[in-house]
Chain A
Amino acid sequence: MNAIVRARDLAVDYTMPGGVVRALDGASFELLPGRSLGLVGESGSGKSTLGLAIGRLLPANVRHAAGDLEVDGRSVFALDDEGIRALRRTSLGFVFQSPMAALDPTMRIGRQITLACGGQPDVGRVPELLQQVGLPKGAARAWPHELSGGMAQRAVIAMAIARRPRLLVADEPTAALDTSLRAQILDLLVALKNETGSALVLLSHELPVVARVCEIIGVMYGGRVVELGDSAGVFSRPLHPYSRALLATAHDGARPGERLAPIPGMPPVLSGPASGCSFAPRCAFADERCRSERPPLRPIGGRLAACHHADGTAPERGSGMSSGM
């Protein structure tokens, strides 16, 4: 089966007033149709950039530097403007952080969902979508400001799935919501994925949350995917030192008042390709090789990790992606 989305050594640069910042530094992953992938990382790890890159939605000051990104077999950076618009319409659905901002304040919800359907949906399509995302039929008549944050995000999700995308990309879809609503919205996304057969890429900084709802986890650091594998495995036995550190900071299971272990040091800000492992300055296991030689993303114990020391042996060259992802 062909992957619905596949990134190969993708690198993109932001042109800032102070110079160039490399946001993605050779990110690779792939996802099969109908599967769910959670991309986890700190802010600055490049996960949002990767999420936007899937729809070529990057701001104007971003340059595609190297590598490739394919959605549904088409290279998004090679498409012309109408081509990428067609791809967004037919294959992609996006859910962003802030649901209130994502709705046009001057338009009723029903009208916005109608437009998201392509303008002239079948009779009954809008009520069907509302029902799918758990909104009452009456919500079609509502204005965005009349909805709560949770309802607004449901409306946004209804718009994202309106044209039955093959891939749903959700970038921190619960960050702007009440804690009590977060699980509901994530469960809704997973339920819709299972119901419609679309694939799901969920971007989050909370490893436990992603591990609960996604089948596969990709851990991002310094603009790369540093570990990729099935959720249970990554969550229970992380291979990459950064994954382990990230898991240790997770507050799930921590008792109130207990101090969380922060990862010492700061995430890197790259201006070009990192020469070695970008986690090396913060890593307890780093040696000279880590600083001078880039660790490739290679198969270790049924998953992929980009670390020279993940298995205690020398890296195997020329590794491909493991199947099933």
Chain B
Amino acid sequence: MRLLLHIAARMGMALLTMLSVSLIVFVAMRMLPGGFEMIILGPIQTEEARAVITEQFGLDRSLPEQFLSWLVAVLHGDFGISMITRIPIADEILRRLGATVQLTAMAVITALCVGLPLGVAAGLADSSTSVRTCGRLVGALGASTPDFVLGVALVYIFSVWSLGLTVGGYVPFFEDPLANLRAMILPASTLSVFGIALILRTTRESVLTVMTEGYITGAVARGDDPASIVRRHVLRNASLPVMTVATIYLSLLLGGAVIVEILFTVPGVGLYTWNALLNRDYGVTQSAVLLFSGVIVTCNMLVDIAYALVDPRIRGRRQQ
């Protein structure tokens, strides 16, 4: 019963977060200089022509009224149509979701596949060995290089020497998997570098901490071999902070995806959102932000559950 209450409270908080994010984005967008009618009609137009547009799209209503009607529609599952293309926003986003999901998945998987083993190795290695120095270096460099710098550098390098990879030229995976991968490797790598560094550093710190714990000394004193100590005790106990950081990374990825999609012209939700923002296509930006915040909130809840699965102490606290 307490557990259900806890979950209900968490979900309530999650919805409240999404509502707040929507509200903030709504207000922020309306505060941008130049509304939709300015973008559509350009600067040299009569007030009358502008009034026609604002009336047509209901932009002449008061801001609270506009926000509430948008909210009510969304709660009924209606995200509206794009003011630019007149196509339902839900369809537009769904069409682009594949590229973004693929990009994010490739980045996360790469970050985990590279960052985790390196982090564990760096954490287990003695302070004197090169593994640990290497881990430090990769961690510091990767974490402090911004996406746009790395992305621009990669665009430049691979525009000169292609090495079989393409900058831009996105093809959906199911049309031509090879061409798709050739176009996606660079943007995914750009995104994954920060993740590799973040996960490597967190894993290393976490493993180092766990290695000093009494139960590790105990296992050593019982004559367990190092490999099984790592397998049985270190990985599980070191995974908690890594999971948290991986979630934070996923949240950051969605922001990073916008930049990388623009740089590499990947037609995903990020690029779409960016263009919608430039066009003041309010409904699209609102819906995309809602989607992003929904993903982040869900990830955080999933990590909470994963925590409880790994650490019985958290389960115990909840049920008390």
Q: Chain A residues with Cβ under 8 A from B219's Cβ?
A: 115
* CB-CB nearest in chain A for B239: A106
List 30 A-B pairs, Cβ < 8 Å. A57-B221, A85-B223, A85-B225, A88-B222, A88-B223, A90-B223, A92-B223, A94-B218, A96-B218, A96-B221, A98-B214, A101-B214, A101-B215, A102-B215, A102-B218, A103-B218, A104-B232, A104-B237, A105-B215, A105-B237, A106-B310, A106-B311, A107-B236, A115-B224, A115-B232, A143-B316, A145-B316, A159-B218, A160-B222, A162-B222
Q: Mark A118-153, 1 if CB is under 8 A from B, else 0.
A: 000000000000000000000000010110000000
In residues 69-106 of chain A, which contact B (Cβ within 8 Å)?
A: 82, 84-90, 92-94, 96, 98, 100-106
Given contacts A87-B223, A116-B222, contact A104 B215 (CB under 8 A): yes
* CB-CB nearest in chain B for A163: B222
Is B217 an interface residue, CB under 8 A from the partner? Answer: yes
Specify which of A105, A107, A159 is in contact with B222 (CB 8 Å cutoff). Answer: A159
Is B233 an interface residue, CB under 8 A from the partner? Answer: yes
Q: How far is the CA of A85 from the CA of B227 in the complex (A)?
A: 13
Given contacts A104-B233, A115-B232, contact A92 B213 (CB under 8 A): no
The number of chain B residues with a CB under 8 A from chain A is 22
Is B313 an interface residue, CB under 8 A from the partner? Answer: yes
Q: How far is the CA of A106 from the CA of B310 in the complex (A)?
A: 7
* CB-CB nearest in chain B for A165: B222
Chain B residues in contact with chain A, CB under 8 A?
126, 213-215, 217-225, 232-233, 236-237, 310-313, 316
The number of chain A residues with a CB under 8 A from chain B is 34
The 8 lowest CB-CB distance pairs between A and B, nearest first, are A101-B214, A88-B223, A89-B223, A94-B221, A143-B312, A85-B223, A104-B215, A102-B214
Q: Chain A residues with Cβ under 8 A from B225's Cβ?
A: 82, 85
Is A60 an interface residue, CB under 8 A from the partner? Answer: yes
* CB-CB nearest in chain B for A60: B126
Is A55 an interface residue, CB under 8 A from the partner? Answer: yes
Contact A57 B312 (CB under 8 A): no
Q: How far is the CA of A160 from the CA of B217 in the complex (A)?
A: 12
Contact A86 B237 (CB under 8 A): no
Q: Chain A residues with Cβ under 8 A from B232's Cβ?
A: 104, 107, 115
Specify which of B223, B224, B311 is in contact with A105 (CB 8 Å cutoff). Answer: B311
Task: Output the least CB separation between B220 and chain A (Å).
Answer: 6
Task: Output the least CB separation between B204 and chain A (Å).
Answer: 17
Is A156 an interface residue, CB under 8 A from the partner? Answer: yes
Q: How far is the CA of A86 from the CA of B126 in the complex (A)?
A: 23
* CB-CB nearest in chain B for A96: B214
Contact B221 A92 (CB under 8 A): yes
Q: How far is the CA of A160 from the CA of B215 in the complex (A)?
A: 12
Q: How far is the CA of A88 from the CA of B311 in the complex (A)?
A: 29
Task: Output the least CB separation between A211 and chain B (Å).
Answer: 27
Q: How far is the CA of A202 from the CA of B309 in the complex (A)?
A: 38
Q: A104-B233, A105-B237, A145-B316 are in contact. List 6 more A-B contacts (CB 8 A).
A: A87-B223, A94-B218, A102-B215, A102-B217, A115-B232, A159-B222
Q: How far is the CA of A96 from the CA of B214 in the complex (A)?
A: 8
Task: Output the least CB separation between B310 and chain A (Å).
Answer: 6
Q: Chain B residues with Cβ under 8 A from A90's Cβ?
A: 223
Contact A57 B218 (CB under 8 A): no
Q: Chain A residues with Cβ under 8 A from B310's Cβ?
A: 106
Contact A106 B221 (CB under 8 A): no
Q: Chain B residues with Cβ under 8 A from A93's Cβ?
A: 222
Q: Chain B residues with Cβ under 8 A from A85's Cβ?
A: 223-225
Specify which of A55, A92, A100, A145 is in contact with B312 (CB 8 Å cutoff). Answer: A145
Q: How far is the CA of A116 from the CA of B228 in the complex (A)?
A: 12
Q: Chain B residues with Cβ under 8 A from A105's Cβ?
A: 215, 237, 311-313
Specify which of A88, A103, A115, A143 is in contact with B221 (CB 8 Å cutoff). Answer: A88
Task: Output the least CB separation between B38 and chain A (Å).
Answer: 58
* CB-CB nearest in chain A for B232: A115
Q: How far is the CA of A179 from the CA of B225 in the complex (A)?
A: 36
